[in-house]
Amino acid sequence: TELKDDIADATTSAGTFTLIAVDGMSLEAGDVSGDPEDEVIIPINISDISAAFDSDAFGFTLKYDSNVLSFVSVEKTGTLVEPFTMVNGSENTPGEVKVSGAYFGGKATINNGLFVNIKVKVKADATVNTSLELDDLKDDIANATTADGTFTLTGEPSDIEISSLDQTNGPETGDTLVTITGSNFVVGTAATVKFGANDATEVNVVSVTQITCKSPAGTGTVDVTVSQNDLTSNAVQFTYDPVSIDMKLKAGEVSGESETEVIIPINISNVAAAFESDAFGFTLQYDSNVLSFVSVDKMGTLVEPFTMVNGSENTPGEVKVSGAFFGGKATINNGVLVNIKVLVKADATEDTSLILKDLKDDIADAETENSTFELISDEVPMVYPDNVEDEVGSSIAIPILITNVVNAFESDAFGFTLKFDSNILSFVSVDKMGTQVENFTMVNGSENEPGEVKISGAYFGGKATINNGLLVHVNMQGKISGQTALKLIDFKDDIEIVATKDGLCKITGDVQYHSADYNPQDNRINLSELLRVIQIYNFTGTYYCKEGSEDGYMPGYGEDKDCGFHSSDYAHTFDTPRVAGPIQKDPDWTIDHSELQRMIQLYNMGCYQYDASTEDHFKPVECD
């Protein structure tokens, strides 16, 4: 439109731009069959091409069972790559044929049809079928999806046989990984593995001689069999070991002042394998001149799902605790079984032992260990962590408080160690701002051992006044849901003689993973996961939702945007020499260079954690 000057009087006609969409194409190995010693042609077909495109290079790998087939040649005659200057194949690794082609000085038009043929020979001693898998696509077909084919050996299938199991026993709860060694297993064909009358899980036919699976739950000694193609193997035996109940029940070491309420955690440990429970009972004994019973609290403990958990102090100094799950069972593992709240009596003058006895029902066989309640005297200051609660991924400031200070004192040095469960929390930093040690020259923290942060402070050339209040903040981040005791030990310097008591940190919510962390989800970015993001970036950076793909996304242009943005596609600012000042970018279904650099940063660090305060809500951390 709007022709001007010397072409102002020209007539016009409209043209058309055709978008060539090659990202949706599929490369497929055809299904074929043959007898031993036959030569067989495996067609490699290409489909789902919306518009033909020109190609001068391609590459892929065809994988099969080398006990069944061997490579002969690549045939380009009558295929889409017939004009190519060179089309080669090589089987350097048995069962893997690397195929590549190049067109020197020109290009061939590729559309839907027969892409290339691969000739193989069926081995004389072949006894089973094999899958035909396409992998490592390169150059002009790098973005194609793949579909496996199957080679079927004609004739009657051979009898399958089990020769051995690498694990002949396991716990009654099941989930033991078992490798079955035998003969004539059929790769690419579903197999059923039975342990007695129960089906195994995660069955994988690895090769003609090996199957892996996980045992189901069971009891006693059972027969293990494999069934495929209407054939069932001989039986070998597997024995279920009874759940070992070497567990220990112990009340937590606690302390408190007179007229305060204290939580006594009842911990269960040494549980070799988690077990199901619908009833338990025990008695907690202590000095009734020191403590009195308040309540039993099941929230956040292993027996939280129980229908009823009660406690009663019919005899002073003896709390009978019992629980029942009507119509179901709860899984019991190592952790806090239940919490008991007690009141420290106003006239208490000494410590008391905490003794567990009269264990019943599902914990009847557990061993017990005594612990101690320590009475905190008003004559010395008390330093302790306050109770906190937050969500997974949140930044958590744990206040370290100091109380019972009768007369303020001057301090130029202090130190202590904070202990916690490193599976629940990760240490971030120590913060002195707004605390009583804000004026200290140096306040540091270091986690030399997982779950133990050594905190120290020094005032060079002066002293700070310490009174009742906030001593210091310890910043943490919640890793997974659960709860952990917060315990202070190893007090030093100006707080060497103090009392203490435990705090409690509860973390709720679910673990939040990065979109790139999918194989497996383990809070670390491996090389293949990084390469997947680079693949999206290289394809103009655009992507869309693709159900059934390895990570739920697909490089290229697509209409499906229902799955939500990729974690690498986030709101951020960046500078460019083409404009003055920074540019603000919101998530836009495109992964740009700075977002890719952030992904590489996560990969280089090894691990990551969810952190809502960062630009992409994740932060790189060193792996434990």
**Taking the CB of residue 77, how many other CB atoms lie within 10 A of it?**
8
pLDDT number for residue 23: 54
pLDDT at 22: 44
β-pairing verdict for 371-375 and 352-361: antiparallel
Q: Are 397 and 505 in contact (CB under 8 A)?
A: no
Q: pTM of the full predicted structure? A: 0.35
> Which pLDDT score is estimated for 20?
46
DSSP string, 456-504: EEE-TT--EEE-SEEEEEEEEEE-SSEEEEEEEEEEEETTSS-B---EE
Amino acid at 20: I
DSSP one-letter string for 326-385: TT--EEE-SEEEEEEEEEE-TT--S-EEEEEEEEEETTTT-EEE-EEEEEPPTTS-EEEE
**Cα(74)–Cα(151) distance, rounded to whole angstroms?**
17
Both structure tokens of 394:
């949140």
Helix spans in 481-621 (H): 527-538, 593-605
* 3-class SS of residue 404: coil
Longest dimension (CA), the chain: 111
Q: Which residues of the chain have pLDDT under 70?
A: 18-23, 155-157, 243-245, 377-379, 510-511, 572-585, 612, 624
Residues 78, 75: Cα–Cα separation, whole Å: 9
Residue 607 pLDDT: 87
What's residue 480's pLDDT? 78
Q: For the CA atoms of the chain, what is the radius of gyration?
A: 34
Tell me how far the alpha carbon of residue 245 is from its chain's centroid: 29
Domain architecture of the chain: domains with CATH = 26-153 (2.60.40.680), 161-241 (2.60.40.10), 250-375 (2.60.40.680), 382-508 (2.60.40.680), 527-621 (no CATH)
**H or E segment and range at residue 69:** strand 69-75
Cα-based torsion angle of the residue sequence 41, 185, 176, 303 in order, rounded to the nearest 10 degrees: 70
Q: How far is Cα of residue 356 from the mean position of the Cα atoms in its chain?
A: 37
Q: Is 600 helix (H, G, I), strand (E, B) or coil?
A: helix
Task: State the CB neighbour count (10 A cutoff) for residue 125.
Answer: 9
